[in-house]
Chains A and B, each alone.
Chain A
Amino acid sequence: MSLLSSTSQQAKHQQLGLGDEKLVAMYSHMLTARMFDERLMLMQRAGKINFHVSGIGQEVAQVAAAYALDRDNDYFLPYYRDYGFVLSVGMTLRELFLSAFAKAEDPNSGGRQMPGHFGSKRLRIVTGSSPVTTQVPHAVGFALAAKMKKKNFVSFATFGEGSSNQGDFHEGSNFAAVHKLPVILMCENNQYAISVPVHKQVAGKISDRALGYGMHGERVDGNDALEVYRVVKEARDRAINGEGPTLIEAMMYRLSPHSTSDNDLAYRTKEEVDHHRALDGLPRFRMYIEELGLWNEELERELREEIKKQLDEASNYADKAPFPTPESVLDHVYADTRKEEKH
């Protein structure tokens, strides 16, 4: 898909209602996510953190989706590669580093969960877990609440194509469709579930399942930011209008291994990875905004420096921050009906 100059396509973002500043902001978020991700990979290999699960190659779709939602009102249930998404809805680099270092100040879980298990009531990011796809019925529950309370928000959940096979996906989708709930389900089909390639995961087309459940389904190029933006926006409008849920299948490629514990060349070739790297949506989007005259080499360099500075600052802060106290392990099993104590 080409983004080369063409009057109809150059105006595309404007057709979608995206202003120039928004485009640049989107790119900034994408690049931040990319550089953050790369930094964490390095830090894990350097032994500074124990574990990192990377989302390189998936940032474009995540950021585009975030921008299509109401970041002040909607509820988000991301999965563990969605750094681009959470950064776009307001999580800071410092907070993400605190999570990576498992420090007490980490807002996601106070250093309890592995990285990538996002949560922030303030930002309406619903706390996630490791058993996959459990967030789909939760998203349905939030949408149910929206409908019952007649509120104008939607819930947005992401998951991988492997997770789309869990019972919870099917049960949740059906439930949402039956009751016409305002939920958007976006499958980030990155072609691999750890080592299992998509042709061993799914026989049909994931977006086709929507038909079976009686909801709108659409497949989109996850590396085309504006397409993803369009599709999510439409899904949101659909939901708000009471037309029910949407299933979006965003096609992308997981350029990194599953996690820092995974040796991906055991199950795919370097050629395949390089082939997909050439299709990476990030440089494509950069090209798009450069062609629009909104971006150039200088700004790129400046942005990279700025991001690097922020990464350094955030990672330093998190590195020095204290761990939770050992005894705090005992806290928050139930609501604490005692008076507030030191924890």
Chain B
Amino acid sequence: MSVITEITLPQLAESQVSATIDRWLKKPGDWVDVYEPICEVNTDKVNAEIPSTVAGTLTKILIGTGEDVPVGTAICIIESEGSGQEDVAPQETEEANHAGTLATVAATTGSDVSMRQRYSPAVQTLAAQHGISLEQVQGTGLGGRITRKDVLAYVASGAREVRQLEKAVEQTSQQVRTTGIHLSESPKIPNIEIDDSYAAGRGETYIDVTPIRNTIARNMRQSVSEIPHAWTMIEVDVTNLVMLRNKYKEEFKKREGVNLTYLAFLIKSVVNAIRDFPIMNSVWAVDKIIVKRDINISLAVGTEDSVMTPVIKNADLKNVAGIAKEIEELALKTREGKLTLSDMQGGTFTVNNTGSFGSILSYPIINYPQAAILTFESIVKKPVVIDDMIAVRSMANICLSLDHRILDGVICGRFLQRVKENLEAFNLESSIY
């Protein structure tokens, strides 16, 4: 006989009351393992995967993508099979593909198995201690409940399947560009759905607005309409910085397992400059300006179809090496779609490494409700004049959009000067720790 299970939308965060299904990872007819992700949901720019609570076949999807549904709503149905026999001792399995049959349910016909999934604290504790998959255990309790005794009996019978507990998904090593934080894998192209009611021959295509896109659109609009943007730019000689980085990059990669990017040095310089000009780290609150004490750098991380801004918290308390590590960590998380809500919150100043996709000048939009956003453009070898002589130097532009309610040209100019000074101060003698 088969067991029908409704998978319901869980509550992922305290105040969360609903979520939107962004993408189904399984379709009707697919086999689903217990704890295997079946869909991605989206709340406030964070993707989370929902794992299945049972093993079985996905028979029906109840909620489609793009729908905002309350926590607790049934989102799909999974059908599991149970064999009719009393098969109490399943074979030891080593295969990665698992779990054929569910353990037998109570042998009496027409028995109620409503309690089969109700694992008491004792049962869960024992299962965890002995590495048991509860699917394999026969439930003799009320409503087919697996009792503590059942688990102990199972253990005693010697049959045990060591379950691969949920570990962090292996990071498949991907090539990450050394100066950038962009993807190099094949892009995720959003579903293009052609609406039949219009003549497709017209040459138009419709792209569904994903929840992420929606959020970005909303934030951009708010930023542009509320904040009076002004813009300024400065040129920085990063020749010494390039040399410093080249000196350390191999060793760093070997030792820390992480790339030492120019961005790390930039962020360090920016953070130190913010220390000297704390007004750059503030928020407009109509009758007052709130100067934030913590310096949490929002990092613009682009994917092919969107941009996210995870936050390096308390960046001022980290050295270049620490910042480099965190950049890579956040980049990886972004690519995997594993950013959490807290990764995204608390930013006070944004930095965007626009140079990594070749730009030499940008006009960035401020990350609402911060006071400014800074871009680091491409490093280009250029002829420059030093001491009335021509030299070839590595130069990079730094652009700044600012909230003209809070900041003016003078203070921003000074700030940028400081960033420039800090960047240019890096040389072969500098320490990255």
Are A and B close enough to touch in the complex, i.e. CB under 8 Å?
no
Residues of A within 8 A of B (CB): none
